[in-house]
Chains A and B, each alone.
Chain A
């Protein structure tokens, strides 16, 4: 992908490997993507495909050990996040690069008031006085839709509902107006009715702050509604990338095709069984040779068993890693 002037974050050949008792696990193995200002990139894949680890690695939040230090280059604001000294990285985290997590109940500290957890961000990054930080925190809580924020700021996370907690998380992440927001399955732990509200909220704030969002999800429905572009991950690599319209209309990779086919649709008879991708996600410690998807792929040929596929470029924005793609598209 060509680096344009408004690209805020560029990840090149990111590799995060874990040393476990069962051997080396390549959770993220050569992932590259970039996001532009105000854009939403959907990072999609099954559990264990490496999408969360890729985001955590970008902020160097994967505990080492068991993980080895991630390799590759992550360009942000003219610097490489992977080689930046810890102190400099701390200045960016929560400030210009923020993250929200899947389960807001466990992601918020149960022993500290919501207010404390918000104000410390402003105190650390902007040197705000306690009073100013509190005012700004109440303002942000109001902005994310928490009623009576002036009173609720002194309450503790367990006194909030799931959706309200995720709003608190979002407020916390956006306090300093970050340029990039990593949202790691932000709606997975929430009720379906709340999911849409939270996604809308992220979208609104993103539009007003110009924040780029990397939205990690396993839910293609979420991606279809919110993402500008999609990157599909399988076994630690991106297997297909394109604009949301391109990927949904013309999926190149058999895995993406399988994912789309397994989505329930409103226009198919409800008695009809959903198509499932046969087989199981691979054990990352013992990946098959060649294309890691070949044991589950109905189109797999000899080449697929021997070497990892070369990238097929379908359009300037649409590409996939598959030997059989030409035959498909």
Chain B
């Protein structure tokens, strides 16, 4: 197990290098530059600025320097916010994004798994049909529609939760529901499908033949196999919750990392774009690793020796 873990982590190194190189190249190939904004700046100042950020050096040299700084945990300086480093921006924004994704994840798992299990256990009944109908709606409604609707109901009508902004945990509820619903819908469908595959299998019949109560048959014998598809979906889903929070953070005016990412791309804020891309990539790789490890724990037939 430890050997497997070490091997997997080592395998991440070349992947990470490719991601760094590719994103560096893409960012630099984009037309324009950090200082080509509407304001005219004199060539003198421009040269000084470029020297400050090292943009006057040849590209390969800049890349080597970027990687060297990266290894020391330094993501560079933002060109848009000259007084702040990329590390600082991520340090303030990412916790908000992370807690938003956490709320969305808990919500989506709670609702999605419940709906999926009910749908499978009560297959082809009113319960099943309503759960799957709800899931279809959940997948189809975009967050920029769902978000304002939730605000309308819970903030303006019921006055239960703040409509936007950042303060305490209550500010995370509506954004979390908005972000999580689409994943809840996917998880519901995956859970139902996984459970249905298991439900008719021979070993469930064996469990019943042993005289286990239906509750025990479901919790002990069905869930493990039935939820495996959900587990493998969770890795990419969590990564996509982090990146997909952009829209929701805009709607609810949350100081997360998402809006910075969009602005940075528009402003050609090279180091900030790179920093956030690498952060997202890191989480995607991490989540996939966690899912693989979890898979090994859940399915004894997979041997991580």
Q: Do A and B come from one complex?
A: yes
A95: B residues at CB distance < 8 A: 211
A106 to B202, CA, bound (A): 6
A63 to B123, CA, bound (A): 12
Tell yes or no: A296 within 8 A of B by CB.
Answer: no
Tell yes or no: B221 within 8 A of A by CB.
Answer: yes
B212: A residues at CB distance < 8 A: 90, 94, 120, 124
- Distance in Å: Cβ of B194 to nearest Cβ of chain A: 12
Tell yes or no: A93 within 8 A of B by CB.
Answer: yes
Per-residue contact bits, chain A 158-175, to B (CB 8 Å; 1 contact, 0 not): 100000000001001000
Known: A98-B209, A120-B212. A109 touches B203 (CB 8 A): yes
Tell yes or no: A19 within 8 A of B by CB.
Answer: no
B214: A residues at CB distance < 8 A: 86
Partner of B225, one of A90, A111, A125: A111
| B209→A94 contact, CB < 8 A | yes
- Chain A, Cβ-Cβ closest to B212: A124
Tell yes or no: B200 within 8 A of A by CB.
Answer: yes
Size category of the B interface is 20 to 34
| B211→A63 contact, CB < 8 A | no
| B209→A110 contact, CB < 8 A | no
| A63→B200 contact, CB < 8 A | yes
Partner of A158, one of B202, B213, B300: B300
Using a CB-CB cutoff of 8 Å, which residues 108-126 of chain B contact chain A?
Answer: none
Tell yes or no: A121 within 8 A of B by CB.
Answer: yes
| B206→A93 contact, CB < 8 A | no
Tell yes or no: B7 within 8 A of A by CB.
Answer: no
| B209→A109 contact, CB < 8 A | no
| B209→A99 contact, CB < 8 A | yes
Per-residue contact bits, chain B 22-34, to A (CB 8 Å; 1 contact, 0 not): 0000000000000
Interface size on A, residues (CB 8 A): 32
A323 to B212, CA, bound (A): 46
A111: B residues at CB distance < 8 A: 224-225, 298-300
B203: A residues at CB distance < 8 A: 106-110
A90: B residues at CB distance < 8 A: 211-213
Tell yes or no: B2 within 8 A of A by CB.
Answer: no
Tell yes or no: B208 within 8 A of A by CB.
Answer: yes
A113 to B300, CA, bound (A): 9
Partner of B211, one of A91, A106, A112, A113: A91
Partner of B206, one of A91, A101, A124: A101
Using a CB-CB cutoff of 8 Å, which residues 77-128 of chain A contact chain B?
Answer: 86-87, 90-95, 98-99, 101, 103, 106-113, 120-121, 124-125
Tell yes or no: A276 within 8 A of B by CB.
Answer: no
Tell yes or no: A140 within 8 A of B by CB.
Answer: no
| A101→B205 contact, CB < 8 A | yes
| B208→A61 contact, CB < 8 A | yes
Tell yes or no: A59 within 8 A of B by CB.
Answer: yes
- Distance in Å: Cβ of B129 to nearest Cβ of chain A: 15
- Distance in Å: Cβ of B126 to nearest Cβ of chain A: 15
| A93→B209 contact, CB < 8 A | yes
A111 to B223, CA, bound (A): 10
Tell yes or no: B170 within 8 A of A by CB.
Answer: no
Per-residue contact bits, chain A 175-197, to B (CB 8 Å; 1 contact, 0 not): 00000000000000000000000
- Distance in Å: Cβ of A93 to nearest Cβ of chain B: 4
Q: Top 7 closest A-B pairs, CB basis? A: A94-B210, A94-B211, A93-B211, A106-B202, A156-B300, A111-B224, A109-B203
A-B residue pairs in contact (CB < 8 Å), sample of 17 = A61-B208, A86-B214, A90-B212, A91-B211, A101-B202, A101-B206, A101-B209, A107-B203, A107-B205, A109-B206, A109-B221, A110-B203, A113-B300, A120-B210, A124-B211, A156-B300, A172-B206
